[in-house]
Structure 1
Amino acid sequence: MLKYFSLPHISAGFVSILVGYSSAAAIVFQAAAAGGASPEEIGSWMWALGIGLGLNCILLSLWFKTPIVTAWSTPGAALLVTSLPGIPMAEAIGAFLFCSALITLCGITGWFEKIMQIVPQSLASAMLGGVLLRFGLDTFIAMQSEFTLVFLMLCAYVLGKLFLPRYLIPLTFLVGILYAFGIDLMTSIPMHLSLTPPIFVFPQFNITTLIGIGIPLFMVTMASQNVPGLAVLRAHGYKTPASPLITWTGITGLVLAPFGGFAFNLAAITAAICMGHVVDPDPTKRYRAAIWAGVFYILLGLFGGTVASLFTIFPKELVMSIAGLALLGTIANSLKTAMDEEQEREAAILTFAMTASGVTLLGIGAPFWALLFGMALHFTMRRRHTA
C-alpha cells in the first residue's frame, strides 16, 4: 500500500480537485438554487457529486491502471442555471435520469467510441491544447494582481525543474501557500465540520422538461465534456476503451440523480493535471494520482459544503498559477503532436484556434465545434491530396 502514498501523486490529485472545485463549484450551487433547492438539498447535490466522482475515479483507475478522472458537467450546470427556474425539483430529477439514461445508452452501444475512432490524433491533441491554453495564460495574467506570489512560484518551478523534477508541482504549490499565508492572502472562514446527509427526491417525468432540459444536458455533456475528456486520454497515449467509461458515468448518474447528481462525465482539464510527466516519469504509475483525486472527491462529498468551503481560502491567483504551471508540459506535448504531421497542420491549427477562442454556438462549447470544423477541413484536404 505504501506505493500509493507518493507526494507527487497526492499533490496532483489534490491540485486537480482544487482546480475543479474552485473554478466550477459555484456554478453547481447556482444551478441547485435555480431549481429551488434548499440549503440541505444543495448539500445533497454536493454529496452525490463527490461520492459518484470519487468512486468512479478510484474504481476505474484501479481497474484499467490508467488515470481516469471524472467530473460533473460544468457546461451542464451552467445550462441548468438558466433552465431550472420554475421547474419543480422532482421534474428536474426526472430530466437528470433521462440524461444519464442517454449517456448509458451511448456507452453500451459503442456509438461514442466509434465516433471518436474517426478523430485523427493531431486534431484531438490540437483540441486539448486549445482547451488548456487559457490555464497556461492565466498564470501570467495572475501576475497583474499578485506579482510577487506568482513570481516566487515561477522561480520555484524553474528551480524544481532543474533540481527536483519529481517534486516540481508540490514544491511550487508549497512556496505559493507559504507566501500567501505569510502576507495574509489566505481567507479566514469559520468551520463547522459535519457530515452531509443525502436527500432523496422522487422523480417525476414531464415530456416538456425531458426535451427542454434532459436532451440539452445530454448534448452539452457529451460534446463539451466527454469528447475532450477522451481526447486527453488519447493525447497522453492511453488507449483505454471509451465505451466502459461512458457507460459507468451514465450508470453513476442513474443511481445518484435522485440525490442531485445531475450529470457525470470524463474530465479534461483536471484529468490532464494527473497525467503529466511531472506527476510520474512512468506513465503506468500515474493512475495513482487519479485515485487520490477520487479520495479527495469522496471526502468533499461526505462533508459536502463544509469541506468545499475550504477551497475558498486559497487566493484565486494561487489557484490560477498552480493550475497553469501544472499543465505547461501537457500543453507543449499537445502542440507538438498536433503539428507533427505536415498534411494535417492546417486542420490542427484551425482546431486549436477555434477551441482556444472559447466560442459557444447553440449552447455547445468550442471544443465540439472546433473538432467538427477541423475534421471537415482534414477530410477535405485528404481527399484533395488523394484525388
Structure 2
Amino acid sequence: MPDSSTISAHGIAARPSFATVSAGLLAAVVGFASSFAVVLQGLIAVGASPAEAASGLMALSISMGLSGIVLSIWHRMPISVAWSTPGAALLASTQMPEGGFPAAVGAFLVCGALIVAAGFIRPFGRAVAAIPAPLANAMLAGVLLGLCLAPVEAVAEVPALALPVVAVWLVVGRIKRLLAIPAAVVVAAVLVAYSTDGGALGTAGLSPDAVFVAPAFSFGAMVGIALPLFIVTMASQNIPGMAVLNVNGYRPEPGRLFWSTGLFSLLSAPFGGHAVNLAAITAAICAGPDADPDPARRYWAVVFAGIFYCAFGLMAGLATALAISAPPILIEAVAGLALLGALAASISAALADESRREAALVTFLVTASGTSFFGISGAFWGLVAGLCMIAVARFAQR
C-alpha cells in the first residue's frame, strides 16, 4: 500500500498507461450498465416523463463523468464519482410527491445544497455522521427490499424473459462478479428487442434532449425525498467512497470532495438528475493496483472513466427506450439483481450491533412498509421510529 504522503495534489502528473484506460472503461461499463435501470425506475416513480427521465440519466452521466475528471486531475488521485444508486432506489420506493416531478426536482436541489453544506460546515457534516450507522443501514435495506423482490416476481410473471436474465446473471457472476449485471442487461436488451420486433429500440435516438424542469418546493417533498436522499447518499456512498480511497493510500480532504460533488448535483438537478457522490465499487476498480502498479498514475483511470461516462450519457436515449419498451417488472428485476449485494451489506451492518438491533429492525420494517403520512415517505418515518426506539431505551436505563 502506498504511503499517503507520496500521493498528493502537488505530485507530478504521470502519463496514462493501457492499464488505466482498461480500468477506466471497465469502471464506466460497470457503473452505467449495472444501475441505469434503477435510476430510470426512480425518476419515473417520482413523476418524470420518459423524456425527462432520459434527460436526467444523461445529466447524471455527464455530471459524474466531468466531476470525476475534474477532481482526479485537481488532486492527482483516483477520485471516482457515481450517481447515487441507493438514492435512486429510494425514489423508486417513493410515491410521486404532490406537485409531481417539479417538486421532486426541488428536492434534488435541496439535497445537493445539503451535500455542499456538509462539505463546507464541519459541525453539520459531523452531525450527519452521528446518525447511528445501524439505523442508516436499516433505512437503506428497507428502501432496497421492494426492488430486490422483483426478480422473483418477474420469474413468476414473465418467465420467458426473466429466467434467461437471472440465469446469465448467476453464471457470469460465478466467473466475474463485476460483469454479471452488464451481461444481464445485454441479455435483457436482446430479449426485449426480439419480443417487440425492434419496436421502440429501432426508432430510438441515441442522444436525448436536455429537458429543463423548473423546480417546485413543497414540505412533503423536502422531508420525504430531500432529507432521506441526502442521508442515504452520505451514509451509503460518500462515506464508503472515502473509505475505499483511504484503504488504497489516498487521503484527500473529505469536505472538499463532498461540496464538489454537491455542486455537480446542483448543476444536474434542473435537468432531472437526483444526486452524484463519491463512488465505492468503481472507486475500488480505479484506485486499486489492477488499475496500474504505480499509485501516482491511477488517477488516469478515473479520467478515462469520466470520458466514457460522458459518452454513455449522450447515448441515454437508447437506454431509456430499452427501459420503456420492456415489461416494467423485467426492468425492476434487473435493478433488483444489481442491488442484491447492497441489500445484503446493509442488512448485515444494520443488525451487527446487538444493542441497537431492535431499533434497526423497527427502522427496516417501517421503511420497507412504504407507509407514508402527511405526504412524507416511509424512509423518513423509519428513521424517526428507530431514533425513538434508541431514545426510549436510553431513558429506561436512567
The correspondence for 1:52, drawn from 42, 48, 63, is 63
Q: Is it true that 1:69 corresponds to 2:82 in the alignment?
A: yes
The correspondence for 1:251, drawn from 242, 263, 276, is 263
Residue in structure 1 matched with residue 231 of structure 2 by the alignment: 227
> Which sits farther off after the overlay, 319-328 or 346-355?
319-328
The correspondence for 1:191, drawn from 177, 190, 204, is 204
Contact 2:119-2:254 at 8 Å conserved across structures = yes
Contact 2:36-2:57 at 8 Å conserved across structures = no
Q: Tell me, which stretches of 5 or more residues in structure 1 are unaligned?
A: 34-41, 86-91, 204-208
Task: Tell me how far 1:334 sits from its aligned partner.
Answer: 1.7
Q: Give the SS at the match of 2:275.
A: strand
Matches within 5 A, 1:195-214: 196=209, 213=217
Q: Is it true that 1:265 corresponds to 2:284 in the alignment?
A: no
Distance 1:98 1:237 in 2: 22
CA 1:317–1:84: 2 relative to 1, 3 Å: closer
Distance 1:31 1:79 in 2: 17
Distance 1:192 1:281 in 2: 35
Residues 29-84 of structure 1: CA distance to partner in whole angstroms, max 9, x if unpaired? 45999xxxxxxxx9987765554354345555786746542359859994474486
Q: What letter matches 1:157 in structure 2?
A: W
> Which sits farther off after the overlay, 302-311 or 166-175?
302-311
> Which sits farther off after the overlay, 24-33 or 153-162?
24-33
Question: Equivalent pairs: percent with the same residue?
Answer: 26
CA 1:59–1:315: 2 relative to 1, 3 Å: farther
Q: What letter matches 1:376 in structure 2?
A: C
Residue in structure 2 matched with residue 152 of structure 1 by the alignment: 164
Residue in structure 1 matched with residue 43 of structure 2 by the alignment: 24
Contact 2:116-2:262 at 8 Å conserved across structures = yes
CA 1:193–1:220: 2 relative to 1, 3 Å: same
Contact 2:33-2:181 at 8 Å conserved across structures = no
Contact 1:7-1:170 at 8 Å conserved across structures = no
Distance 1:183 1:32 in 2: 23
Residue in structure 1 matched with residue 21 of structure 2 by the alignment: 2
Residue in structure 1 matched with residue 4 of structure 2 by the alignment: none
Residue in structure 2 matched with residue 37 of structure 1 by the alignment: none
Q: Is it true that 1:110 corresponds to 2:122 in the alignment?
A: yes
The correspondence for 1:322, drawn from 334, 343, 355, is 334
Contact 1:13-1:291 at 8 Å conserved across structures = no
The correspondence for 1:137, drawn from 149, 154, 164, is 149
Contact 2:98-2:220 at 8 Å conserved across structures = no
Residues 109-152 of structure 1: CA distance to partner in whole angstroms, max 9, x if unpaired? 23542222222222222122111111110111112321132222
Distance 1:77 1:169 in 2: 27
Q: Is it true that 1:357 corresponds to 2:369 in the alignment?
A: yes
Distance 2:40 2:342 in 1: 21
Q: Give the SS at the match of 1:213.
A: coil
Number of residue pairs aligned between Structure 1 and Structure 2: 357
> Which sits farther off after the overlay, 99-108 or 121-130?
99-108
Residues 252-282 of structure 1: CA distance to partner in whole angstroms, max 9, x if unpaired? 366567xx347753579xx78x5799x8997
CA 1:348–1:102: 2 relative to 1, 3 Å: closer
Distance 1:59 1:363 in 2: 38
Contact 1:143-1:151 at 8 Å conserved across structures = yes
Q: What letter matches 1:358 in structure 2?
A: G
Contact 1:135-1:324 at 8 Å conserved across structures = yes
Distance 1:166 1:303 in 2: 22
Contact 2:142-2:365 at 8 Å conserved across structures = yes
Q: Give the SS at the match of 2:34.
A: helix
Distance 1:219 1:28 in 2: 17
**Given the two structures, how large is their TM-score scaled by the length of structure 1?**
0.69
Q: Is it true that 1:378 corresponds to 2:390 in the alignment?
A: yes
Distance 2:190 2:105 in 1: 43
Distance 2:97 2:358 in 1: 33
Residues 14-38 of structure 1: CA distance to partner in whole angstroms, max 9, x if unpaired? 23223212442575645999xxxxx
Distance 1:81 1:252 in 2: 24
Q: What letter matches 1:354 in structure 2?
A: V
Q: Give the SS at the match of 2:217.
A: helix
Distance 2:175 2:62 in 1: 38
Contact 2:147-2:332 at 8 Å conserved across structures = yes
Residues 234-263 of structure 1: CA distance to partner in whole angstroms, max 9, x if unpaired? 785854877445523543366567xx3477
Residue in structure 2 matched with residue 39 of structure 1 by the alignment: none
Q: Give the SS at the match of 2:259.
A: helix
Distance 1:318 1:288 in 2: 36
Distance 2:146 2:289 in 1: 25
